[in-house]
Structure 1
């Protein structure tokens, strides 16, 4: 006999971790159409020009609001359109990711306009250089704005009360907070001819280029790699740059504390320790993990430990009529897929097959989320058609996060 359907609205319990049998969470079971309605209610989703977007954090605690951000812009430079898309995954707080969202695109646009204006016959390398140097300069500016509060070595000589007055002054506190928080960066840029794509990455967001072949199958090319301690190349780089410092990488984390090895902000890992010890630790708003910051400071010997140099990829785009799309996502989607498809993801055909399944899906003729490619990628990660799995993902009653912030952009090229 078929298993009877669980009634919509029934409260049920589940054990999220096998290793913790005493940890039981409650959730509300939903069936269709209530399930999709709840998904669409909790997500921020839609489309803008050629780009479908979706972002979700189902935890209703206002203090656990999503720190993911994204932006979709068209840049007019000398009457020609450049397409700019970006995903930012903040951590530690909202200040750095919000500042980056507001100011980094403008910062890069100005530099790109100057470069294109000075050299109309630009090369792919020229644009890569604009992106790389622009991101580095932007982050350096965040750090320097805080250092400038203490000219020379004055932070060593000021009293505790004097330092507190400086860092908590209304005109200064946000300069400090932007150094205390951080964000990853994933940028895509397409030139006016639509023949060139650039991807810039800091941190652990991911960009995958999908192209439909003449046979109808899709190919998939990953254009970024994770800048975190689980990436052996990144871990080795940090260790090599800080030779002899046993504590520079611990438990796949920089100084045993932060997962990403490249980011905007996070100046605890970039400035000499005294600026954190005497400066940032005296900011009244504080760190979310104040004690952890205090504990890691003795290991801050030869900063910077977290890099602001992005990985840049330049990809010539095909001029054929074959469809192509760029998938951009924060690591929240990667975590969901690791849980759902841990073994399957290791197969070389995973992403091509998934791109085909999502991007070739026929339109239902409605305006619902089933016609939004970004939402389809997210829905697959939280359980697809499994009503129990999706209900748990969306309605668990817990005051903390049970799911990472997740953002997806699908850019039709």
Structure 2
């Protein structure tokens, strides 16, 4: 037998020292999970933390809105599924401000569709309302209806595309051969439709009028809006604007159970049908239509992230759809800008999740008080330097990923792990001036 020999020179002492220098700031963690598995992270100096956080969160600031969107896991399958909008619309009566967060789940197709379509749908409907109204200050309930209808129409368009492509009565009569032929003949169209129907997105948006006398908040899902307010001489107070649409909210869980009496599996494991945490969302059409669509049409697409056994299990629980609601809640607030300082925090649920993982558990109100206190403290700061200067959303994100704990912030920024260990986080802070 012949062996190939490779001769390697021993590393020099200089090379050894260089190698040690390169790894001296690397540490490992088990993420509190126990067991033998460890993941590596890089301890960054304080001077580099804010710069890196600014870069990774795509932090931006406009005249009145600061934004960040953050997901440290860089694996393609785990890329950030949050999207957001910051728009100003020149309409009759002046400039309206539109801001929104869309928190996608199970893929990027539906959230991209919502991000692209919803702002223009709201703007078109609002413009029509303003042009038809006798004044440029329409009744608040009419604006609320514009927002509510736009969201529902967008969700119905996803469902209509499905039903036009594959009507229910046709599907029930088709053989497997006929169904496969129909899908293969229109492969591209079906891939688009099925992706939007098996993925979903929540929506949290704010709309304010030109004089900043009114703000409307629409919520469909489990993101959160918090209004910070204080008199010109006084303390900051925090008001949670919206209810949270997930199964941890007893009223949402009860609503679903009342809509589906005698179906024990409609809410189980604190999820709708044991599958989805949000109780209201755009898309997720497979949970809004008869189960024959899941069993015969959607199964291959669901199997991208669900084993076939689980797909069959969830399909068997779809008895009286829909289970996920597309009915948003809209809240109107009158603003008294000349007499009060005001700002609005919009965030996807990933921000709340980070605080839930802290050693000290906070109630929703305590969390809101903390956020408003922190943002209020820096609203007029003259000591901010570098990348943190003036971006209030970035300040809030830094606090959430570890604050002054350099080791925790470093770990959250640099952990080398293929799987997503942190939910997507998007924060918008809007100042009313």
**TM > 0.5 fold call:** yes
Query: Could you tell me whether the CA contact under 8 Å between 1:203 and 1:226 is conserved in 2?
Result: yes
The alpha carbon displacement at 1:286 in A equals 5.0
The equivalent residue for 1:395 is 414
Query: Could you tell me whether the CA contact under 8 Å between 2:226 and 2:238 is conserved in 1?
Result: yes
Whole-Å separation in 1 of the counterparts to 2:365 and 2:76: 40
Query: Could you tell me whether the CA contact under 8 Å between 2:94 and 2:210 is conserved in 1?
Result: yes
The alpha carbon displacement at 1:289 in A equals 1.7
The alpha carbon displacement at 1:276 in A equals 1.6
The alpha carbon displacement at 1:268 in A equals 1.7
> Which of 37, 42, 60 matches 2:74?
60
The equivalent residue for 1:153 is 169
The equivalent residue for 2:430 is 411
Task: Tell me the alpha carbon deviations over residues 47-102 of structure 1, each in whole angstroms, 9 at most, x when there is no partner.
Answer: 12310000110012122100000010011222521110000000000000000000
Which blocks of at least 5 consecutive residues in structure 1 are unaligned?
1-5
Is it true that 1:172 corresponds to 2:186 in the alignment?
no
Q: Within 5 Å, which residues of 2 pair with 1:178-189? A: 178-189=196-207
Please state which structure has a larger fraction of its residues in helix. 2
The equivalent residue for 1:163 is 179
Query: Could you tell me whether the CA contact under 8 Å between 2:231 and 2:339 is conserved in 1?
Result: no
Larger radius of gyration: 2
Q: Within 5 Å, which residues of 2 pair with 1:315-394? A: 315-340=333-358, 342-343=360-361, 345-346=362-363, 350-361=367-378, 362-364=381-383, 366-394=385-413
The alpha carbon displacement at 1:193 in A equals 2.2
Whole-Å separation in 2 of the counterparts to 1:205 and 1:346: 15
Task: Tell me the alpha carbon deviations over residues 232-279 of structure 1, each in whole angstroms, 9 at most, x when there is no partner.
Answer: 010000000001101100011000010010000001210111112111
The alpha carbon displacement at 1:373 in A equals 0.4
Task: Tell me the alpha carbon deviations over residues 352-396 of structure 1, each in whole angstroms, 9 at most, x when there is no partner.
Answer: 353233233213364512431001111101101111101111111
> Which of 118, 125, 129 matches 2:145?
129
The equivalent residue for 1:3 is none
TM-score (norm 2): 0.89
The alpha carbon displacement at 1:287 in A equals 3.6
Q: Within 5 Å, which residues of 2 pair with 1:169-318? A: 169-283=187-301, 286-291=303-308, 292-318=310-336
Query: Could you tell me whether the CA contact under 8 Å between 1:92 and 1:287 is conserved in 2?
Result: no
From the superposition, tell whether residues 167 and 66 of structure 1 become closer, same or farther in structure 2 (CA, over 3 Å): farther
User: How large is the RMSD of aligned CA atoms in angstroms?
Assistant: 2.1
Which blocks of at least 5 consecutive residues in structure 2 are unaligned?
1-20
From the superposition, tell whether residues 196 and 27 of structure 1 become closer, same or farther in structure 2 (CA, over 3 Å): same
